[in-house]
Every structure is written in structure tokens, then in C-alpha cells.
Amino acid sequence: MAPGGSAFKEVLELVAECDIATSKSENNIAPTKGTVILSGKHGVYSNNGVHELLECPVCTNLMYPPIHQCPNGHTLCSACKLRVHNCCPTCRYDLGNIRCLALEKVAESLELPCKYQSLGCLDVFPYYSKLKHEQHCRFRPYSCPYAGSECSVTGDIPALAAHLKDDHKVDMHDGCTFNHRYVKSNPHEVENATWMLTVFNCFGRQFCLHFEAFQLGMAPVYMAFLRFMGDDNEAKKFSYSLEVGGNGRKLVWQGIPRSIRDSHRKVRDSQDGLIIQRNLALYFSGGDRKELKLRVTGRVWKEE
């Protein structure tokens, strides 16, 4: 739908039917600057303000059905209707249960670019398909893979690699083979523990080596696994192996690194890695079995 003409007139009439005031003096809405609304690979820009009308005034997110309105025509999303205790945040009237069906209909006619357009996604979607796409868009930012704390930082892979090194003081290594030793005194007293993350630069990509202790049912175990700093379709191009042993015995694990799109907890809970029962880990450690001394070796290779 192009700006102007009968189609645009219909949009304005639909908005008017919903009793939504669009003047600056009544709703304090400033004129829109370059709102993206329609068609074309990169979207078409217009100043008609329809896109702005679809923004919830409370959370500023785009609104999806059911869109609610008060008797004076002020709209907000269903989540914020509960948040404001059924009181219009603009005029303080009771919201009741009035739906703005006209604005919902207007939204059906719109096509908008992905919110991650600035990160490289150039696709345009019907209004009601946009949200679903953005939840899985391959250009969406990654979450910090650090497992030692709940870190809220997001970004692209180079930014996260720098963040891990500078802010979390993670060990960064070059090479596709590794040999790490994990030591813990009084391991019988430890039910849950996470060792420092290690990041490897290999084949021009980054891999995160995790090692932690937790309860698997009633059994205390240790687990090592690798995550790939990138999407799942790229992770499947690689394989890795982990090996741990002692006293003439060894355990070997081979698998595909999981994408950091999957949280470390999700990978751990799926048991997708090298799992060592604590009694066996202490046997591998030798000595008096009062101290954990595990040496984990491994390598990463690229599948042809």
C-alpha cells in the first residue's frame, strides 16, 4: 500500500472510527519522522503516523490483538492494561473491556521491516508476522555466554568476545586442541560449582569450554561441554571430542558444539556433553580421593 490515494484515506477513516486523536495538541504526539510502513525490500518511509499509533504509550512496544482503548480513545496493549490496573494512563478513566478493532484492522494492512534491520536483516513482514520472525531472526543479538553469573549483556560475536575478555576476565586461547586441569579441594562438600569459562579461537571462530558440578537426580556429577559462538547451522559444521582419565582408564566424548543461542543451563540439563560421576572423577584424581584433580583434553575439527 503506497502513501496517499484511496487506500491511505481508508486507513485514516479506520483510525478515526476507533476514536484515536492524532493531533499534537490533544495527544501530545509529535509529527512522525520517517516512519517505516510498507512494501519493498527496504520499506517505504511516510509521515502518516500510523506506525506511531500502534506503539503502546506505556511500554512503547508495538501492540498486538487484543488492543484495548478507553472511552476517550486512548489505546494500550493487553499486557500494560493489567499493569496499570485497568486505569487509562493518559486520562485516568476506567478502561473497561473496549477493543480497538479498527486499529487492529489497520495493522493487518501494514508491512514493516525487522527490528534488527540495522544489524543486517533487510526483510519486510506483514505486521502480525513480524514478531514471530524477530524471535528467531538470525541477525538478533546473542546473549553473553558467561555461566558464572546472570549477565544481561547482548551483542554480536566480536563484541561479546571482547566483553568476555575485558569484563569477565575469561581466558582466551588460540588453537584447536586444549588440555585443562580442574582442581577442587573438599569435592564432597560441593554440590554445585562452575569453573571459569575458557574461550578458544579456532578456524577463525570462537568456542566456549564449560566445566561444572551439579546434581543429576541424586547423583553428584561433573560435566564438560563446548558451545559455539554463532548460530546452530554454523555450529553443525564442527565436531569436538573430550577425554578424561587416570589410573589406566579413560572416558571419551564426541559431539557437535551447541550454539550459544542455547543457554549453558539448557545444554547442561540436556546432558549433551562429557558427564563424569563424582566417585569416578575422584578415582581418576588418584591420591586419597579428598581432592579433585581432573585433566580434560580435547580438540575441535571442521567437518568436510
- 100 in the same domain as 218: no
> Where a domain ends, among 82, 109, 136?
109
CA 247 to chain centre: 43
User: Does residue 210 lie within any of the structural domains?
Assistant: yes
We report the CATH number of the domain holding residue 263 as 2.60.210.10
Which CATH number goes with the domain that contains 101?
Answer: 3.30.40.10
Reading the chain (304 residues) residue by residue, the pLDDT tens digits are: 444 433 333 333 333 333 333 333 333 333 333 333 333 334 443 334 677 788 899 998 888 889 999 999 999 998 999 889 889 999 999 888 899 999 888 888 888 889 898 888 998 988 888 888 998 898 999 999 998 677 899 999 999 999 999 999 999 999 999 998 888 887 777 677 888 789 999 999 999 999 998 988 888 899 999 999 999 999 999 999 999 988 888 999 999 999 999 998 899 999 999 999 988 888 888 766 678 888 999 999 998 7
Per-residue pLDDT of 6-34, as tens digits, reads 333 333 333 333 333 333 333 333 333 33
Listed residues 86, 109, 132: the one ending a domain: 109
Same-domain pairing of 80 and 180:
no
- Of residues 45, 53, 47, 44, the one with CA closest to residue 17: 53
Angle between helices 101-108 and 127-136 (to 10 degrees): 70
> Considering the domain boundaries, does residue 65 fall inside one?
yes
Give the domain extent around 184: 169-302
- The total of structural domains in the chain comes to 2
**pLDDT, tens digit (0-9, with 9 covering 90-100), for 65-80:** 899 999 999 999 989 9
| Burial per residue of 127-163, b for 16 or more beta-carbon CB atoms within 10 angstroms, e otherwise | beebeebeeebebbebebbbbeeebeeeeebeebbeb
135 occurs within a structural domain: no
Residues 173 and 284 in one domain: yes
- Asked if residue 39 is part of any domain, the answer here is no
DSSP code of 24? Answer: H
CA–CA dist 135, 152 (Å, integer): 17
Q: Nearest Cα to 10, choosing from 97, 108, 143?
A: 108
